[in-house]
Amino acid sequence: MAMHRHRRRFLIIAGAVAAALPLATRAQVAGKVRIGIVGSGRVGGTLGGVWATAGHEVMFSSRNLEHDKELAARLGPNARAGAPREAAAFGEAVLVSVPYRALPDVGKEVGDLLKGKVVIDTCNPFPSRDGEVAEWARNKGVGLASAELLPGARLVRAFNAVSWVRMGAVHEEPGRVGMPIAGDDARAIELASRLVRDIGFEPVLVGGLAMGRFLMPGTPLAGELAPAEIRKIAATLK
């Protein structure tokens, strides 16, 4: 019975995504999107750089403001730097890309500014690096755990299972590599899917946040896979 409910919910979400385009704001669909980056390391810095080059407005933030200023200066007029709260307030969409052990602190520091916003969660819990919170997230399911740590955010998990090394180059062959994503909010999925495409990946919705536990290194969905391969593998996962 629970499996049938999950399947029914997934079909509702997937159908709503197809109909969500008229509901999104014109600025989000047709023009630039303001993107706040909370955590501008390898993943956040690379993704933000591609988005800025694609014409979106990006604000980088981390614990090292000078690093963020230098990064923004290299990228040109579409990029800027600020504190995490500034980036969270700036973004129509916010990318959170920090070690999982830092995610509870992100929730405490900027969580009030993320309520109601589309938040793309790239964070993966590794017990060897992140300790007890990683064990908890893996046991709970990382998508559901992230949603608990960032309550009220319209969360979409993405960019979790592909190496950051390739994230800056996939746009050279757009659509060839799939990007599995998971989320419960149709409008958030629609906007996140657009931003995934702007990086060069083809987004593949694998289900709700409960399926986010498969969007990690070491799972069947990890690595560079064609969109059709992701759909085939996702259909076998429960």
Q: What is the 3-state secondary structure (H, E, C) of 93-124?
A: EEEECCCHHHHHHHHHHHHHHHCCCEEEECCC
Match domain 2-234 to its CATH number in 3.40.50.720, 1.10.10.10, 3.40.47.10, 3.40.50.1100.
3.40.50.720
Percent of the chain with pLDDT over 90: 79
pLDDT in tens, 6-30: 444 434 333 333 333 332 333 344 4
The domain limits of the chain are: 2-234
pLDDT in tens, 70-117: 999 999 999 999 999 999 999 999 999 999 999 999 999 999 999 999
